[in-house]
Amino acid sequence: HAKATGRDDFRTFTPQMQRQASRALQLESALRKALERGQLSLHYQPQITLDNGKVSCVEALLRWHHPQLGDITPSEFIPIAENSGQILSIGEWVIRSALAQLRRWHDLGLTWLRVAVNLSALQFRQPRFPQLIEQLLQECRIAPDMLELELTEGVAIDNPHQAVATMRQLHAQGVRMSVDDFGTGYSSLNQLKRFQIYKLKIDQSFVRDLDNDGNDRALVSAIIRMAQALGIRTTAEGVESQAQLDYLREQGCCEVQGYLFSAAQPADVIQAFLLQHAA
Ligand code: C2E
Ligand code: MG
Ligand code: MG
Ligand code: MG
């Protein structure tokens, strides 16, 4: 919906806007049936701890394959699911499925492995969200410290009081919280301390040009040192080259995630990677 702040903001409804709106409506209604029709799945991407070379965690990333529309990217359908409220049921399915998969991996002997899931603000703001997490952990017999919840920096903005209370409760339960896409939002150092954050995920936009952008190198180095000072771990996202890896290691980054190691892949493909890596 356009903001009506004055004459200058008036926009005509162009054919392109019309196409986008009708695509969004089409996706919204197709998404209502996606879960029950088995069109949603999770892919997993490993995070590697640099000081021991182990895969400490896998991030669950949602995929949607529609029989006629093909693969639809999360960046297209997640906002639609958020605006229509469907993210609540889809998000619960994501957490339950990721924990059930982690249970199978623990049963295979990969007992140190954790799973990370992405959360939307709407999920996090549900009044009984910590209770939901507790219930899902019990259902799958997973210890709370094996689950990481990835939140973006915007999540706390409109209701910092409730956000702090929810964070405190999750922290007390033993669940770990990460700030995703760190550096693209508005967190203050003060907030990071209050929120009892376990790790910062350095956004891939700072990692991409590490080889030839001195500013990005300075920023990444500063983020890592700030996190170290606060006792917060760091994970670099979007690591694609050996040169990026070398710099991150030299600066003391804790974990890395990116195509250099593996893209997000279906559970069976990642399982082979995990077993090979553990051997
Ligand atoms: P994110 O959580 O920051 O995930 C990282 C994205 O970067 C993923 O895109 C991943 O496939 C991609 N990526 C990983 N390594 C590399 C690399 O080396 N190079 C490049 N160029 N990209 C890399 P994806 O899977 O398309 O997900 C996009 C975003 O959609 C995610 O960003 C997350 O914000 C959201 N998302 C995905 N699954 C869920 C979900 O279950 N719930 C919610 N609320 N959001 C989700
Ligand atoms: Mg993420
Ligand atoms: Mg990210
Ligand atoms: Mg993102």
Q: Which SS3 state, helix, strand or coil, does residue 229 take?
A: helix
CA-only gyration radius of the chain, Å = 20
How many Cβ atoms sit within 10 Å of the Cβ of residue 173? Answer: 15
Taking the chain (279 residues) in consecutive chunks of 10 residues, what is each chunk's mean pLDDT? 51 82 93 96 98 96 97 97 96 98 98 97 94 98 98 78 90 96 79 86 96 93 94 97 97 98 98 91
> Looking at residue 157, what is its pLDDT?
67
Give the predicted TM-score (pTM) of the model.
0.94
Instruction: Kindly provide the ipTM of the predicted complex, given to two decimals.
Output: 0.98
How many whole angstroms from 6 Cα to the centroid of ligand 4? 32
Q: To test the ligand 1 pocket, which listed residue (44, 147, 182, 237) has its Cβ within 8 A of the most ligand atoms?
A: 237
Separation in Å, CA 40 to CA 34, 99, 133: 6, 16, 21
**At 47, which helix (H) or strand (E)?**
strand 40-49
> Looking at residue 11, what is its pLDDT?
66
- What's the gap between Cα 185 and its chain centre? 15
The answer to whether residues 139 and 99 touch, using CB atoms and an 8 Å cutoff, is: yes
98 lines ligand 1 (CB under 6 A): no
> Looking at residue 2, what is its pLDDT?
46
How many whole angstroms from 179 Cα to the centroid of ligand 1? 13
> Looking at residue 17, what is its pLDDT?
86
**Cα-based angle 126, 127, 130 (whole degrees, multiple of 5):** 85
> Looking at residue 7, what is its pLDDT?
52
Question: Please, which residues have CB less than 5 A from ligand 3, an ion?
Answer: 180-181, 237
Question: Please, which residues have CB less than 5 A from ligand 4, an ion?
Answer: 181
> Looking at residue 9, what is its pLDDT?
55
Place of tokens 């936009």: 205
259 lines ligand 1 (CB under 6 A): yes
Closest residue by CA, ligand 1 atom 30? 74
* Closest ligand to residue 149's CA: 2
Q: To test the ligand 1 pocket, which listed residue (40, 48, 61, 180) has its Cβ within 8 A of the most ligand atoms?
A: 61
